[in-house]
Amino acid sequence: MKAFNYQHPGEIIFGNGRISEVGSIVSRYGQRCLVVSGPRNGVLRDLDPIVGELLEHLGLEWEHFDGVNPNPTPDLISAGAELARQFQADVILGIGGGSSLDTAKAISLQATHQGTCWDYIYFKNRPSAQTLPVVAVGTTAGSGSQVNPAAIIQHPSSREKSVLCSDHLIPRAAIVDPQLMLSVPTQVTAATGFAIFCRAFESILNPQTNPLTELLGWEAVGRVIKNLPVAVLDGSNLGARNSLAWADTLAGLATCGSGFGLSHGIALGVGSRFAEIPYGLALASIYRACLEFTWPSAVSVCARFARLFDPAFEKAPDTEAAELCPDLLQEFLAIVDLAFTLRDFGIADEELISLARQSMVLPHYKKNNPKVPSPDEMVKLFKDSY
């Protein structure tokens, strides 16, 4: 068996209604809590007063930074970090989707370090143990941010999108309450659910994978294949929501062991220039091309993937099953109404070469693939996705 190391410093509080424990959980890590979320009069308008009461019930002091929007920027993080310093926060509570949790993590860094969060992207500088503890409450299933070490930041002036990554950014506690996800809109459910699949599958494809990563990743992949169509059809199906929330958690844990892969590097490249395209939709638009490029270098993995979609391939040779992997994936995307191309987002043909270059800014992602694309091959991936 392959030798590996795995350490996860956070606790996971999973189950329906577990949001009721938020006060006691936050109190383990501090007494002055900065709550970080999207606008309190938005989708969290019903949850916001409940959280406040639960914190106050245990005597916690709290302040609210509700300025989060999709694709958090350094300016947004700086505003939150300044509030954290003024309030003398000793714990951060992030509530919301991936952008809110990423913002909470970035604030926990900048509030306790010199410079801005952008000074720490992609290992430029290393965050220290002074980083404030974060408690994460996810209201969507898709980012895995509640248990992983990453936070994605958008720099609007340079049109760059990059990543903070450190074990110090892994939330100390993750409250995963599927009941909070029942009201997520259909397309958001589909896009975030597909993002779970991508992270889980890439953690398996990654050359740094290990037996634990594979165990977590395959369980997450299977749950998405089975439950995402159900949740898209009926968002009130609590059983499907539970399974997707658990798959999201497993995928987040899997990426702690091996990291993200090729499609995430490409989606970051797309998002850096077209911030209005949701991350999950960017992934959906390029994933078939990524599989076409990758499967000949990962036959056994892609064959197993094909058999999860269609047990009829159980007795088929691995090569035959693996070759059909891209088609089966595209059929799945059609079922959940995610069969998009880059053209569908209004991206002009002449943008493809620059997007391909942007996708290679973070070489870590393209190297985390069984086959590493050359610059010309990266351009072809974009053209095939168009």
Domain range spanning residue 114? Answer: 11-181
CB 94 within 8 A of CB 104: yes
For the record, the structure tokens of 94 come out as: 């992030």
Q: Do residue 108 and residue 225 come from a single domain?
A: no
The mean pLDDT of 2-10, rounded to a whole number, is 85
- Position 1 in a domain: no
* CB neighbour class for 117 (10 Å; exposed up to 12, middle 13-18, buried from 19): buried
Q: Do residue 38 and residue 177 come from a single domain?
A: yes
| pTM of the model as a whole | 0.95
The answer on pLDDT for 2 being more than 90 is: no
Q: Do residue 168 and residue 193 come from a single domain?
A: no
Query: Which of 147, 181, 215 is the last residue in one of the domains?
Result: 181
User: Residue 304 is which amino acid?
Assistant: R
**Size (the chain), residues:** 386
Q: Please, which residues have CB within 8 angstroms of residue 343's CB and are 6 or more apart in sequence?
A: 386
pLDDT of residue 122: 79
Mean pLDDT over each residue of the chain, to the nearest integer = 94
Query: Which of 181, 206, 225 is the last residue in one of the domains?
Result: 181
| pLDDT single digits (tens) 126-145 | 999 999 999 999 999 999 99
Query: Which of 181, 196, 217 is the last residue in one of the domains?
Result: 181
Q: Any idea what the CATH number is for the domain that residue 277 is in?
A: 1.20.1090.10
pLDDT of residue 364: 66
The mean pLDDT of 290-300, rounded to a whole number, is 97
The answer on pLDDT for 360 being more than 90 is: no
End-to-end Cα spacing for the chain: 41
The percent of residues in the chain predicted with pLDDT above 70, rounded, is 99
- DSSP state letters, 182-201: TT--HHHHHHHHHHHHHHHH
Q: Do residue 190 and residue 299 come from a single domain?
A: yes
User: Rounded to an integer, what distance in angstroms lies between the CA atom of residue 295 and that of residue 324?
Assistant: 9
Cα dihedral across residues 272, 273, 278, 281: positive or negative: negative
User: Residue 379 is which amino acid?
Assistant: V
For the record, the structure tokens of 267 come out as: 């989606």
The mean pLDDT of 53-74, rounded to a whole number, is 94
- Torsion (CA) 241, 244, 245, 247 in degrees, nearest 10: 160
Q: Please, which residues have CB within 8 angstroms of residue 85's CB and are 6 or more apart in sequence?
A: 111
Q: Any idea what the CATH number is for the domain that residue 120 is in?
A: 3.40.50.1970
**Residue 85: pLDDT band with limits 50, 70, 90:** very high
Q: Please, which residues have CB within 8 angstroms of residue 130's CB and are 6 or more apart in sequence?
A: 112, 113
Q: 3-class SS at 385?
A: coil
The answer on pLDDT for 48 being more than 90 is: no
Q: Residue 211, CB half-sphere, CA atoms under 13 Å: how many? A: 5
